[in-house]
Structures are given as C-alpha cells and as structure tokens.
Amino acid sequence: MINLKHVLVPTDFGRASEAALTYGRTLARTFGADLHLLHVMDNTFFRPMAGDPLAVKAATYKLLHDKLTATDCADLRGRAVVEVSDDPHDVIVEYAKAYGIDLIVMGTHGRQGAAHVLMGSVAERVVRSAPCPVLTVRQPERDFVVADSTACATAV
C-alpha cells in the first residue's frame, strides 16, 4: 500500500511546473498528504542586480504563495518555500531529506541533444540523487489529471 505524507513540487514557474503542480495537488489530496511548493532563486550575491534582493525574494515568495489555493492551505497544509542557491537540484534534494518528502513531482522541459548537453537537466539530477521517488511531468504532453477549475467547468 502506498502511503504519501509529504509531496514536494519544485517550480520554476514554467508550463511544465504548472502541470506538475496539478499532479502534485491531486496526489496530495488523494493520499491526504501535505503539499510543499518550492522555488529556488538564483543566488545574486556576487552579481549586479537592478532591485533590492530582499524585495525580489519577497515578490517571488508572494508569486509562489499565490499558486496555493485556499484549499491547498487548509486541506493539504500547503506551504510555499523560496530558497536561494546556484544549484537548484541540491536544494531540492536536501529539502526532500530534511522534511521527509515521500514523493517529488516536478516538471521537465524534455530537452534533448545539444540543448540537454549544454543546459543539463535539474529534473534528471534530482531523479539520480533524490531520497524518494520522483515523478516528472513534461508539458505539453497528455494530461491524465485535469485541473480542478477545468473539471468544474466541464461538469456544469
């Protein structure tokens, strides 16, 4: 029997991450698990930046927190976390270890060839080193889980 208590959805705010959040939210609801939403910001400490880094982090946190619905917060004990690092895969793996995450659900761009060699894949690196199973979601692909707003609109 599968027992999920903590589901982690790392996000870069892209389309694949949105699809992963839909899957993560559905799995958390199905198993009564907590939903963790994590964004890893680039470390700008040694780089010039137009704005105040703390203001940028606060704005990013608000954007991330706004991805959580009232139901996520109440029923799934949803939490939004923003971390700063040059190595997002390390932060994701360490977060999973620290909070006893049972499943990571993350989007992937599905790059191949030269783009994959040059840019690498955060999802691939997480899959290789995560302390728990990782479900990768590629967008656009077939959707097996429909967002709540879409399901409600088609049911009416």
Q: Encode pLDDT of 54-85 as tens digits.
A: 888 899 999 999 999 999 999 999 999 999 99
Share of the chain above pLDDT 70, in %: 76
pLDDT at 53: 76
What would the DSSP string read from start to end of 66-128? TTS-HHHHHHS--EEEEEE-S-HHHHHHHHHHHTT-SEEEEEE----HHHHHHH--HHHHHHH
Beta bridge partners of 41: 84
Cβ pair 37, 11 in contact under 8 A: yes
Identify the pLDDT of residue 46.
64
| pLDDT value of residue 113 | 47
- Taking the C-alpha atoms of 134, 124, 66 and 73 in order, what is their torsion angle to the nearest 10 degrees? 20
> Residue 94 half-sphere exposure, CB side, CA atoms within 13 Å?
9
Residue with tokens 């198993």: 31
pTM, two decimals, is 0.81
Answer yes or no: is pLDDT of 39 > 60: yes
Domain extents for the chain? 6-155
Tokens of 154: 């088609």
Superfamily grouping for domain 6-155: HUPs (3.40.50.620)
Confidence of residue 116 (pLDDT cuts 50, 70, 90): very low
Residue pair 32/26 in contact by the 8 Å Cβ criterion: no
- The single-letter DSSP state of residue 41 is E
Averaged pLDDT for residues 25-48:
88
Percentages helix, strand, coil for the chain (3-state, rounded to 5) are 45, 20, 35
